[in-house]
Amino acid sequence: MIRVTVWNEFRHEKTKESVRKLYPEGMHALIAGFLSEQPDMTVRTATLDEPDHGLTDEVLSATDVLIWWGHTAHGEVRDDIVEKVYDRVLEGMGLIALHSAHASKIFMKLCGTRSSMLSWRENHELERLFIVNPGHPITAGLPEYFEIPQEETYGEYFNIPQPDELVFISWFSGGEVFRSGFTLTRGSGHIFYFRPGHETFPIFHQKEVQTVITNAVRWAAAPENKPAITYRRNIPLPRP
């Protein structure tokens, strides 16, 4: 079983009527809902305003893949919690950063760049996502491209490191392109960034988006028996 924790800032849903309508129990609840239907996943949720943001040592050590959505309150996430998540990723916990999580403390720290920096427009335009890595497990079950009828636009240049694998490139009707899905490896941890997910549109209700997230969870989960790494200090290896 893959143990998933869906983390959500969970603020917009409380303050904006338009968002509450789309996600009455929060985006995390909806995401946890469709993942829970998978026979190989057990899912819990955590949110910013819970004690320790819901990310206690117990929760983190029992999490194989962490999904992250944040936007308006990145600055309120405690640095000591970010450090713990960081170490868990390096140790092998998968991380899936959704949409505005590109500017979260944890994602920026793992990127090693100011990944908060990109162009954006709050509009209602078409996004078309093309697959550029059709053998990647994250694309299973998708058509060669799919559309999101109304989305916020993101545009290049996106201040990220060169991805380990580029999976999706978006075309926007207003004239922008964007690297919308890519992977990074950090230590033993697998990271996937996925661009769609603006809170004012029903993005996470869309079937293709759910397929991507579900695939990404399976891809990001580390093998159970991954190698135990030691860092030897002045300890010689056995002489041949």
What whole-number distance in Å separates Cα of residue 46 and Cα of residue 31? 12
CA atoms within 13 A on the CB side of 62: 12
Query: Is residue 83 part of the contact set for a copy of itself (CB under 8 A)?
Result: no
Using CB under 8 A, which residues numbered 10 to 39 contact a copy of itself? Answer: none
Query: Is residue 131 part of the contact set for a copy of itself (CB under 8 A)?
Result: yes
Q: Mark the segment that binds a copy of itself (CB under 8 A) among 53-61, 95-103, 158-166, 196-204.
A: 158-166
Query: Is residue 140 part of the contact set for a copy of itself (CB under 8 A)?
Result: yes
Q: Mark the segment that binds a copy of itself (CB under 8 A) among 7-15, 72-80, 175-183, 199-207.
A: 175-183
What whole-number distance in Å separates Cα of residue 179 and Cα of residue 99? 12
Nearer to a copy of itself, 12 or 179 (CB): 179
Query: Is residue 134 part of the contact set for a copy of itself (CB under 8 A)?
Result: yes
Q: Residue 176 region, left (φ>0) first, then alpha (ψ -120 to 50), else beta?
A: beta
Q: Mark the segment that binds a copy of itself (CB under 8 A) among 8-16, 24-32, 160-168, 198-206.
A: 160-168
42-73: string of b/e by CB count within 10 Å (b at 16+)? ebbbbbbeeeebbbeeebbeebbbbbbbbbee
What whole-number distance in Å separates Cα of residue 221 and Cα of residue 227? 14
Query: Is residue 206 part of the contact set for a copy of itself (CB under 8 A)?
Result: no
Least gap, CB of 86 to a copy of itself (angstroms): 8
Q: Mark the segment that binds a copy of itself (CB under 8 A) among 9-17, 38-46, 71-79, 232-240.
A: 232-240
What whole-number distance in Å separates Cα of residue 173 and Cα of residue 110? 31
Tell me the site size for a copy of itself, rule CB under 8 A.
78
